[in-house]
């Protein structure tokens, strides 16, 4: 299992690989991750142009602290193999694989990347967007334990899940809760990052804020986005608040006191605090520090 270095994954903005203007903007937007899309956002007759444009953008660099991810077409489409081969030699941080249903699909893409010359550091991110993927989450995320697997992140594809299941999502996303929680649980079981699906109504700031808060409560590291206007609110929602950081520092300091050395449980402000809370507090501070160091 690979344990990724601690870094923020609050906001991951998709942009159509066919939109040169959007690709150019990627280098200046305050997103933690940019996902250059060759799949659903690109029409079939624009696939080759988009691939060339995306690879040129990745090769030109200049993305700073942003993680650069290329979403390829599925390997059973006419474009998938060429997308994967081009990404292997252009070396974004990760390739995002659409529609995997099993660990076998993860391993096939991992092995093909190696054959195409990808460095070991190139990660594989997996969309979770089919009913079979939901049923097989433990197998898909568990691919992280297999030799040669590159999987490091799960990305929810809620629009596809809605289409395939015929569920309807309202503001509470009740119908999606099983998919969302199962994905977070599977990701945590195998040390993966996990990102929530997109909020389609990009002019609705209140709705986005509500969905970000829900995603954060469910345990997601961040959210995938479709429009630059969604970045600021998402970064805010998935950052530890000043109050969170202050509480975390207080917990760490309390366990460091001489009188508490060696204790597994203490009382702080009238509440039970265990060593596991100190672990959580150290993570909160580390993420806050990583956010402060980025940007
Ligand atoms: N990434 C980077 N820049 C983007 C962007 C994105 N996802 N979406 C919009 N922009 C840019 C536009 O190019 C425009 O730039 P400009 O002012 O320099 O011309 C600016 O932001 C304002 O765009 P706006 O007019 O508000 O939106 P639009 O009507 O042009 O585009 C969408 C709306 C939904 C078509 C567009 O946001 C988009 O393509 N989003 C991504 C879709 C996608 O990748 N889907 C697949 C995964 S679900
Ligand atoms: Mg999809």
Quote the pTM value. 0.96
pLDDT computed for residue 2 by the predictor: 45
**pLDDT the model gives residue 294:** 84
Ligand nearest to the CA of 23: 1
Q: What is the pLDDT along the chain (295 residues), one digit of tens a residue?
A: 444 568 999 999 999 999 999 999 999 999 999 999 999 999 999 999 999 999 999 999 999 999 999 999 999 999 999 999 999 999 999 999 999 999 999 999 999 999 999 999 999 999 999 999 999 999 999 999 999 999 999 999 999 999 999 999 999 999 999 999 999 999 999 999 999 999 999 999 999 999 999 999 999 999 999 999 999 999 999 999 999 999 999 999 999 999 999 999 999 999 999 999 999 999 999 999 999 998 5
Question: For residues 141 and 225, what is the distance between their CA atoms, to the nearest angstrom?
Answer: 23
Atom of ligand 1 nearest to the CA of 26: 2
C-alpha 129 – ligand 2 centre gap (Å)? 6
Residue nearest to atom 47 of ligand 1 (CA): 14
- 27 CB-near residues (< 8 Å, 6+ apart): 62, 63, 64, 66
Beta bridge partners of 273: 266
CA of 285 to the centre of ligand 2 (A): 34
Pocket test for ligand 1, best of 226, 229, 230 (most atoms within 8 A of CB): 226
127, β-bridge pairs: 155
Element (H, E) at 192: none
CA 56–ligand 1 middle distance (angstroms):
20
Q: Report the distance separating Cα 112 and Cα 57, nearest Å.
A: 23
pLDDT at 209: 98
**Residue of minimum CA distance from atom 2 in ligand 1:** 22
Strand 11-16, strand 151-156: pairing: unpaired
How many whole angstroms separate alpha carbon 276 and alpha carbon 136?
A: 30
Report the C-alpha gap between 31 and 225 in whole angstroms: 9
Two tokens, residue 202: 């990009």
Residues with CB under 6 A from ligand 1: 13-16, 21-22, 25, 37, 40-41, 198, 226-228
DSSP string, 156-185: E-HHHHHHHH-----TT-GGGHHHHHHHHH
**What does the pLDDT read at residue 141?**
98
Nearby residues for ligand 2 (ion, Cβ within 5 Å): 129, 157, 160
Cα 29 to chain center, whole Å?
17
Cβ partners under 8 Å of residue 279, min gap 6? none
Which one of the ligands is nearest to 99 CA? 2
Which residue carries 């691919």 as its tokens? 143
Kindly give the number of the ligand 1 atom that is closest to the alpha carbon of 35. Answer: 44
Report which protein residue has its CA nearest ligand 1's atom 36. Answer: 227
Contact between residue 194 and residue 184 where contact means Cβ atoms under 8 Å apart: yes
- Taking the CA of residue 37 as reference, the ligand 1 atom at the shortest distance is 44
């Amino acid at each position: 299992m690979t344990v990724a270095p601690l870094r923020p994954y609050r906001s991951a903005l998709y942009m159509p690989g066919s939109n040169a203007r959007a690709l150019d903007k990627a280098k200046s937007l305050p997103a933690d991750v940019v996902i250059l899309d060759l799949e659903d956002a690109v029409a079939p007759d624009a696939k080759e142009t988009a691939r060339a444009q995306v690879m040129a953008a990745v090769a030109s660099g200049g993305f700073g602290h942003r993680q650069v991810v290329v979403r390829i077409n599925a390997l059973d489409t006419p474009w998938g193999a060429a997308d994967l081969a081009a990404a292997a030699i252009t070396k974004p941080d990760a390739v995002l694989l659409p529609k995997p249903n099993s660990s076998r699909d993860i391993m096939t893409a991992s092995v093909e990347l190696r054959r195409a010359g990808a460095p070991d550091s190139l990660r594989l991110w997996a969309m979770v967007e089919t009913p079979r993927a939901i049923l097989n989450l433990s197998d898909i995320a568990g691919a992280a334990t297999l030799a040669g697997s590159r999987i490091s992140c799960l990305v929810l594809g809620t629009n596809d899940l809605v289409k395939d299941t015929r569920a309807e999502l309202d503001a509470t996303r009740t119908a999606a809760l099983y998919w969302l929680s199962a994905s977070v649980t599977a990701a945590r079981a195998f040390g993966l990052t996990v990102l929530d699906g997109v909020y389609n109504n990009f002019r609705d700031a209140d709705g986005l804020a509500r969905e970000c808060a829900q995603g954060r409560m469910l345990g997601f590291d961040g959210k995938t986005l479709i429009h630059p206007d969604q970045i600021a609110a998402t970064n805010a929602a998935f950052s530890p608040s000043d109050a969170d950081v202050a509480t975390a520092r207080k917990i760490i300091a309390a366990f460091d006191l001489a009188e508490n050395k060696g204790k597994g449980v203490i009382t702080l402000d009238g509440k039970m605090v265990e060593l596991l809370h100190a672990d959580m507090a150290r993570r909160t501070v580390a993420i806050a520090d990583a956010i402060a160091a980025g940007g």
